Amino acid sequence: MNEIREIALKKALLMILRPLVRILLRNGVVFSVFSELVKKVYVDVAFDEHGESGKKQTLSRVAALTGLTRKETKRLHDLKQPLNNVTGNKYNRASRVISGWLNDAEFSDAPLHPSILSVEGDRGSFAALVKRYSGDIPTKAMLDVLNAAGNVVISERGVMLVQHAFVPQADEIAKLSILGADTAELISTLNHNLVCDADQLWFQRKVSNSLIQAKDLPLFQAYAAEHSQALLEQFNLWLGEQEIPEGEDESDCHYVSLGIYYYQNKLGNQDDEVK
């Protein structure tokens, strides 16, 4: 790596780490824990993605790639992942339930116009919706998840979907799961664009302006939220129309996502940049 490229990469890394370290310190994650996780990922990625073509990856080669000792490399390679992804699965399934509610004709009056559903019933009910789109999560458990997130209103008429995006309000564990999943996807997209050919780039853009007055920030927040949600719902509708029918072969299926985020900072505040 040449010197200019190395400096640019280190600067980018420091910018990524600052907001991450804020989260870690706020949640009591000390450096030794973070360091152990980083070393584990170094070893896993070296084993999974940096072997010589046609040859089995070796401890010695991984140790050389990562700068760790051979003994440490073996220990980390044998170390199991610290946590499963139960919370992440719950988040994904809640999103799938909402998507089905918006797009499936059995549960909507028209695309993006969800019906008011009775809680129980074999067809056209919330129970039927959950059974179809959430896997093995019980009806009441999913109803509690969506209710806690502010997605639904429950009345004598039934269950009404009032918020089309699943954003956990009080579930800190779910929020941390989203932190991992969404940040990983963004960085993976950036990594793809760093190494791919020009005609293989994935879409990754943002719009920004540093001359917006404080009084106008709430206006743009509301404008951005409204139009971004509408755009995402259109993408969701398109994806739902392309989804293979239940029971068909999924061996050639791919996961895709597209995210939009809002950020603001006071002009001249270099808090998230390298000082």
Instruction: Give the DSSP per-residue string, the chain.
Output: --HHHHHHHHHHHHHHHHHHHHHHHHTT--HHHHHHHHHHHHHHHHHHH-PPTTS---HHHHHHHHT--HHHHHHHHHPPPS---HHHHHHHHHHHHHHHHHH-TTTEEETTEEPPBBSS-SSSBHHHHHHHHSTT--HHHHHHHHHHTT-EEEETTEEEE--SS---SS-HHHHHHHHHHHHHHHHHHHHHHHHS-GGGPPP------S---GGGHHHHHHHHHHHHHHHHHHHHHHHHHHSPPTTS--TT--------------TT--TTS--
Which tens digits make up the pLDDT trace of 87-144? 556 677 888 899 899 989 999 988 889 999 999 999 999 999 999 998 788 999 999 9
Q: Which pLDDT belongs to residue 272?
A: 59
Domain assignment present for residue 244? The answer is: no
Domain assignment present for residue 31? The answer is yes
User: Residue 213: what pLDDT?
Assistant: 94
Whether residues 94 and 152 share a domain: the answer is yes
Of the residues 161, 189, 208, the one at which a domain ends: 161
Does 100 fall in a domain?
yes
* 154 falls within a domain: yes
CA angle 242, 248, 249 (to 5 degrees): 100
Asked if residue 177 is part of any domain, the answer here is no
Ordered mean pLDDT values, 10 residues apiece, the chain (275 residues)? 89 94 92 94 92 83 94 92 58 86 91 92 94 88 90 93 83 82 93 95 94 96 95 91 85 92 81 58
The reported pLDDT for the residue numbered 85 is 52
- Residues paired with 114 in a beta bridge: 108
* Last-in-domain residue among 82, 99, 123: 82
Question: Are 118 and 65 in a shared domain?
Answer: no
Residue 60 lies in a domain: yes
Domain final position from 82, 117, 145 = 82
Q: What is the predicted pLDDT for the residue at 134?
A: 87
Q: 126 and 52: one domain?
A: no
Q: Which pLDDT score is estimated for 219?
A: 97
Q: Provide φ and ψ at 186, rounded to 5°.
A: -65, -45
d(CA 43, CA 71): 12
Do residues 78 and 94 share a domain? no
- What single letter denotes the amino acid at residue 7? I
0.85 exceeded by pTM: no
Rounded Cα–Cα distance for residues 25 and 23 (Å): 6
Specify the pLDDT at position 201: 96
The pLDDT score that the predictor gives to residue 31 is: 95
23 in any annotated domain: yes
pLDDT at position 175, please? 82
Domain contains 199: no
Both 75 and 93 in one domain: the answer is: no
Alpha-carbon gap, residue 168 to 91, rounded angstroms: 9
Asked if residue 103 and residue 44 are part of one domain, the reply reads no
Residue of 160, 173, 183, 164 whose CA lies nearest to 94: 164
For 13, list phi and psi in degrees, rounded to 5.
-65, -45
What does the pLDDT read at residue 173?
78
Domains held by the chain: number: 2
CB contact at 8 A, 149 and 169: yes
Question: Count of alpha carbons within 13 Å of 51, Cβ hemisphere only?
Answer: 10
Confidence (pLDDT) at 192: 96
- Give the domain extent around 52: 1-82
Q: What is the dihedral of CA 44, 50, 55, 59, to 10 degrees?
A: -50
